[in-house]
Structure 1
Amino acid sequence: MDDMITVKNLTKRYGDYVAVDDVSFTCRPGQVTGFLGPNGAGKSTTMRIIAGLTPPTSGVAQLYGVDYRTIPNPATQVGILLDASAQHAGRTGAEVLRLSAMTMGIGRDRVDEMLELVSLTPEEAGRRVRNYSLGMRQRLGIAAALLGDPKILILDEPANGLDPAGIHWMRTLLRGYADRGGTVLLSSHLLHEIEIVADDIVVIGNGRIVAQGTKDELLAGAGTRVRSLDDAALGEALVAAGITVQRNTSGGLDVDADPVDVGRAAAAVGVVLTELRPADGAQLEAMFLQLTAETQREHTTLEGVAR
């Protein structure tokens, strides 16, 4: 099967509130799919539906072409981390993994292997989870998700609580897992986290998909950055050539066109370019902020009311 995760026309309503609104996307093997959006955009609800924890109002979410709840011994097929703080606080880290391994019919050697993989020392593994930092809980949660050697990983905000070294470790781990043929769905409200590791990106705001595609497609869609010795004359030449131009706050112009077309327009009017390059993460960030601005404003208002 080409797509390991298939979400089609997924909707979830709570009374009059629509948490997820006609969401569709797929996740492919060998790829990290970044599920990006501000807090409250519908990421966690969508992931809970995929994991069989929340029933959808309508639409389908399938893994391997079937409903999660119909998969036999599902933890050996799908590794899930939705809430690192939900682990049993009274058990040690090692006990949490051993109980999971027993349920799956997996030997204890795999538990030790996973503890080593996520860099939890024997001393830390022997501590009760209530005494874990959030970062340690995330590592334990990732170990639990990988325990059954699944082909699909679904992780909701797994970098929360990790320090910079921990975030780098997690990215390296997920990249290696996908490169070996695994399928990863990774959510975050932080664009930079997603941008570095993801192959495909799905952006959600107000419960609806607002952009999706490969990272390269989304970056290409953000246009070109150009600076010159005479930006005013260059801007006029570009507009005359039918190219959309925006002045960038840090100087230069953001142009909705291929760099070659920009160079030709500049040459035609004799303007010397000092910078010409495809859009980078700064443009993707601008797109993300623009796409989710409405969601951000609504939640700011709601938070104000709640107080």
Structure 2
Amino acid sequence: MIRVESVTKRYGAHTAVDDVTFTAEPGRVTGFLGPNGAGKSTTMRVIVGLTPPTTGAAHVLGCRFTDLPNPGLDVGVLLDASAQHGGRTGREILTLSQKTMGLRTDRVDEMLDLVSLTDAEAGRRVRDYSLGMRQRLGIAQALLGEPAVLILDEPANGLDPAGIRWMRDLLRGHADRGGTVLLSSHLLHEIEVVADDLVVIGNGRTVAQGTKSELLASAGTQVRTRHPERLALALTSAGVVVHYGDATLRADADSERVGQVAHEAGIPLIELRTADGAGLEELFLELTADTQRDGFDHQPIHAHQQGAAA
């Protein structure tokens, strides 16, 4: 389990993280989302003890990361694959970690095989690795100690579609075996596919959190008709907020309400369904639309509140 409690991090007059609180539970993948500069990486660095919080605290498995006697056996971390020593080979990097953690020597070969790095690739210096190879090496290092908790920042960067699918299955399998996964990624579709819970931050503050299904279900209703202008007018007249898409309307109301308005207006519908099919991207863009502006002052939104995606 990962527990972040009222964490704030200030750099002089700049507040990078502002009173962020959330929990990543065992057996679940928690997607950690936010625009660039929102405070995701700073929060993750606080969790793993690389950045001290100004106030608040973060605990992994019930204690601070820095108090874990052999952290790699409990927590696997990948924050920046490019930070690996370019002058060492992939095998050397894993071997150093294996010796530091006191693991059996064949664990290195097991991890190289798991992440599909060949003997020839493992013998090359990391400076000659592609980004995707660095990511695979970083994942191997994170998994080396068979940790219960994984904390990964953009782990799919540089991976091809097959690699992304492999990564998804790896994380899902880890959670299904009872592990805790905290995953940050800009690949929103991958988060949508693999995550159980979502935490969204903007300007360093939490703007939404809850289960993926609850947050996406709160996104409203997606509807298609051959008369979108008439339907939009009818919905607006009924007090329903309407958002325009490429070929659909999305209404901030449940499907029953939208269907009732369309029926009363005599407008036939082609499609009527909850807007979770519109996906995480739409929800993310709405939740973070204002967070790049100075003076952002929204209150945190939780899954149990109505209009979480509004």
Instruction: State the distance in 2 between where 1:236 and 1:30 align.
Output: 45
The residue aligned with 1:206 is 203
- 1:150-172 CA-partner distances (Å, limit 9, x unpaired): 00000111111222221111111
Say which structure is richer in helix.
Answer: 1
TM-score, normalisation: structure 1: 0.90
Instruction: State the distance in 1 between where 2:185 and 2:115 align.
Output: 20
Instruction: State the distance in 1 between where 2:39 and 2:275 align.
Output: 28
Aligned partner letter, 1:45: T
Instruction: State the distance in 1 between where 2:219 and 2:176 align.
Output: 27
Are residue 277 (structure 1) and residue 234 (structure 2) matched? no
Instruction: State the distance in 2 between where 1:230 and 1:40 align.
Output: 41
Are residue 255 (structure 1) and residue 245 (structure 2) matched? no
Runs of 4+ with >6 A deviation: none
Q: Deviation at 1:38?
A: 1.7
Instruction: State the distance in 1 between where 2:23 and 2:251 align.
Output: 31
Which SS does the other structure have where 2:270 is aligned? strand
Instruction: State the distance in 2 between where 1:124 and 1:281 align.
Output: 41
Instruction: State the distance in 1 between where 2:293 and 2:241 align.
Output: 27
TM-score, normalisation: structure 2: 0.89
After superposing the two structures, state which structure 1 stretch, 167-176 or 14-23, moved more: 167-176
- 1:35-81 CA-partner distances (Å, limit 9, x unpaired): 11122111111001100111100001001121111111111000011
Aligned partner letter, 2:218: G
Instruction: State the distance in 2 between where 1:258 and 1:295 align.
Output: 27
Q: Go from structure 1 to structure 2 and tell me whether the alpha carbon gap of 1:249 and 1:98 turns closer, same or farther (over 3 Å shift).
A: same
% identical aligned pairs: 69
Identify the match of residue 75 of structure 1 among 72, 76, 80: 72
Q: Go from structure 1 to structure 2 and tell me whether the alpha carbon gap of 1:98 and 1:222 turns closer, same or farther (over 3 Å shift).
A: same
Asked if the contact 1:199–1:214 (Cα under 8 Å) also holds between the matched residues in 2, the reply is yes
Are residue 139 (structure 1) and residue 136 (structure 2) matched? yes
Q: Deviation at 1:271?
A: 2.6
Asked if the contact 2:39–2:203 (Cα under 8 Å) also holds between the matched residues in 1, the reply is yes
Instruction: State the distance in 2 between where 1:282 and 1:241 align.
Output: 23
Q: Deviation at 1:232?
A: 4.4
After superposing the two structures, state which structure 1 stretch, 69-78 or 231-240, moved more: 231-240
Compute the RMSD of aligned alpha carbons. 1.8
Asked if the contact 2:46–2:52 (Cα under 8 Å) also holds between the matched residues in 1, the reply is yes
Q: Deviation at 1:132?
A: 1.0
The residue aligned with 1:100 is 97
Identify the match of residue 267 of structure 1 among 258, 263, 279: 263
Asked if the contact 1:222–1:284 (Cα under 8 Å) also holds between the matched residues in 2, the reply is no
Q: Go from structure 1 to structure 2 and tell me whether the alpha carbon gap of 1:213 and 1:89 turns closer, same or farther (over 3 Å shift).
A: same
The residue aligned with 1:302 is none
The residue aligned with 2:45 is 48
Q: Where does structure 2 lack aligned partners over 5 or more consecutive residues?
A: 295-310
Q: Which aligned pairs between 1:82-231 and structure 2 lie closer than 5 A?
A: 82-231=79-228
Q: Deviation at 1:183?
A: 0.5
Aligned residues: 294
- 1:170-208 CA-partner distances (Å, limit 9, x unpaired): 111111111111110011233223222111111111111
Instruction: State the distance in 1 between where 2:238 and 2:156 align.
Output: 45
Which SS does the other structure have where 1:65 is aligned? coil
